Structure 1
Amino acid sequence: MECRPGCAACCIAPSISSPLPGLPDGKPAGMPCPHLDGTASWRCRLFGRPERPAVCASLAPSVEMCGASREQAIRFLEQLESATRP
């Protein structure tokens, strides 16, 4: 499965506990990653670079996670985030 253009749900909804450029303590849930390109495409500017967190590189799109829309993907990832909070 390929990423849905303009989605970026996985770069917004979940928290990232590992450091990334500009966020040494990681990214909180619900905050758009500052490394999204900011255009309608919402592409990762760290894609393929060594600074990209391992958790981002290991996350692959799936029918279950992505659903049929960006809104469904965000909802799924928010629920997952909530269910896995310490």
Structure 2
Amino acid sequence: MPDGKPAGVRCVQLDEGNLCRLFGDPRRPAVCARFDYDPELCGTQRDEALRRIEALEVAT
């Protein structure tokens, strides 16, 4: 996504299992490489994580 990923838009690099196709690839954006699992942010389920991340995207 050369112009960045808008809030609420699924990354085009996610595969059917929600795994990054660029993981380990030097083309992977630095912001993605810095993003790490945080139980406080992600919670325990995918839907919970998406709600929390969406709230952060809207707030920023």
TM-score > 0.5, shorter chain as reference: yes
Mapping for residues 46-65 of structure 1, pairs under 5 Å: 46-65=22-41
Question: Residue 82 of structure 1 corresponds to which residue in structure 2?
Answer: 58
Structure 1 segments of 4+ aligned residues over 2 angstroms from their partners:
none
Matched pairs, number: 60
- CA RMSD of the aligned region, Å? 1.0
Deviation for aligned residue 1:53: 0.6
Query: Which residue is 2:12 aligned to?
Result: 34
- Quote how far apart the aligned CAs of 1:64 are: 0.8
Instruction: Say which structure, 1 or 2, has more relative contact order (CA 8 Å, 6+ apart).
Output: 1
- Following the alignment from structure 2 to structure 1, what is the Cα–Cα distance between the partners of residues 40 and 51? 11
Q: CA–CA distance in 2 between the matches of 1:33 and 1:83?
A: 19
Q: Distance in 1 between matches of 2:44 and 2:18?
A: 18
Q: Which runs of 5+ in 1 are unaligned?
A: 1-22
Read off the aligned partner of 1:54 and give its amino acid letter: A
More helix by share: 2
Of 48, 52, 60, the residue aligned with 1:72 is 48
**CA distance in 2 between partners of 1:34 and 1:82 (Å):** 20
Q: Which runs of no fewer than 5 residues in structure 2 stay unpaired?
A: none
TM, length-normalised to structure 1: 0.64
